[in-house]
Chain A
Amino acid sequence: MTLLHKPATAAEAVRLLAADPDARPLAGGATLVAMMNADLARPSALVALRHVASLATISRAADGTSRIGAMRRHRETVHESDLRGAQRIVALAAARIANPTVRNMGTIGGSIAFADPAADYPAALVAADAVVEIVGPQGTRELTAEAFFVDWYATALRPGEIVAAVRLPPGPLGAVARYDKLVRVTGDFAIASVAVVAVVRDGAFAALRLAVGGCGPRPVRVAEAEALLVGARPGSPRIAEAAAALGAACDPVDDVRASAAYRRRVVPRMVAHALGTLLAPEARAA
């Protein structure tokens, strides 16, 4: 009886997972093994994805789209020079995950498949307008990050499916990224996080995507608020209006990190701060 399978291809990994509903894919182990230690998960077998070469690569297409394989470690994503412009939001988020030791272990595919709403990638991927590539028994399919994250610790993955890669479009020309994370202590999960990708032209927002993490079952994005911000300059009342709209769209809970009421109060301030900083002249110079 084989306990730990080591498939060399994604197709073989999917076949092994489909053949045994109690088998689980093993990525970096940072979450699954912790759950096994706590007796919260008792897989019958594990399918180690570490040996699937196609899951471990990052590539950049001619049009500037970057494709991050599911098994890329957080450490690698932090330092990835192929992530540029709007795509930097994912590297900035990766740099805030846990600590250097855990970043040596955890993977982008494992993290998003677990889908902790207080984790760093969900809001960043929504802000980056990312696409999640999925492989399963029925072949491959893809979903936007917004469609991928569906609820607390729940994704659109079906039984037997795994994340193959995350694809990041090049984003608008001249885009800059900012990731703010409010934590009790460095390396903790977020009380709240704000991921913004923006183009600032002549002192005003020309384009923008913004997502809030840690304040509800899935990343919070308000398209109306983004539309409102196009053309906004420093000090514009529309910044406070958009920030309030993001706060109102949050659906936080009380947990060990903060109360829901605190999160509702702090999110508009975090959003306004991130937007104000992006519009400041120093940010444009950088």
Chain B
Amino acid sequence: MTTQDVTLQINGRAHRLAVRLDTTLLTVLREGLALTGAKRGCNQGVCGACTVLLDGRPVRGCLTLAHDAEDRAITTIEGLGAEPNPVQAALAEAGAVQCGFCTPGMVMAATAFLRDHPAPSLEAVREGLSGNLCRCSGYRKVVEAVHRAGGGAP
């Protein structure tokens, strides 16, 4: 299949790449730009390990075609900054990481969730993160950490 040039705005920087029509944003990030924070779990939009922000909202990197992301602001976990943000700090503090494969997607979903839902209830956190699977099944500490990062009592 032929390629076509596309310009992607990733973490505030423009990247020009030759990309096939069927190449997803996730593939470009991981294989084209070595931004391997977003993970390829199911590649079907089910697991959430590939979650990135598109114009500030969480989306599936594996269900977003690179060409369709051309005029949009893409934020990956690498773009959150060198210092841990409140979600990352709370996850570390709570020991909410087991194998860690789902963590970058969780962080992206939770960061956007807390921006839009200040001081959420535990139930709201569970709903907010319901698109992110953890196959270690270590949900409890993740939910508690995000709840705490949002200002909820420990």
Partners in one complex: yes
| Chain A interface residues toward B at CB < 8 A | 1-4, 26, 29-30, 33-34, 36-38, 42-43, 45-46, 48, 50, 75, 98-102, 104-105, 186-187
Q: Which of A42, A46, A104 is the most central at the interface, judged by chain B CB atoms within 10 Å of its CB?
A: A104
Contact B2 A1 (CB under 8 A): yes
Bound CA–CA A263/B63 (angstroms)? 31
With both chains docked as a complex, state the minimum distance between the C-beta of A217 and any C-beta of chain B, in angstroms: 24
Contact B2 A99 (CB under 8 A): no
- Inter-chain contact total with CB atoms closer than 8 Å: 86
What residues of chain A lie closer than 8 Å to B113, measured between beta carbons? Answer: 100
B39 at the interface (CB under 8 A from A): no
What residues of chain B lie closer than 8 Å to A98, measured between beta carbons? Answer: 131
B interface: dominant SS: mixed
Contact B51 A4 (CB under 8 A): no
Contact B127 A102 (CB under 8 A): no
Apart from A37-B43, A101-B51, what 7 extra A-B contacts exist at CB < 8 Å? A3-B2, A34-B62, A46-B21, A99-B48, A99-B131, A100-B128, A186-B127
Residue among B44, B51, B58, B67 making CB contact with A38, cutoff 8 Å: B44
List, sorted by A's number, 20 A–B pairs whose CB atoms are closer than 8 Å: A3-B2, A3-B4, A4-B21, A29-B65, A33-B45, A33-B65, A34-B43, A37-B24, A37-B62, A45-B21, A48-B67, A99-B48, A100-B113, A100-B127, A101-B109, A101-B132, A104-B54, A104-B57, A105-B59, A105-B63
- Name A98's closest neighbour in chain B (CB-CB): B131
User: Which 5 residue pairs of A and B lie closest in terms of their CB atoms, listed nearest first?
Assistant: A99-B131, A3-B21, A101-B131, A4-B67, A99-B130
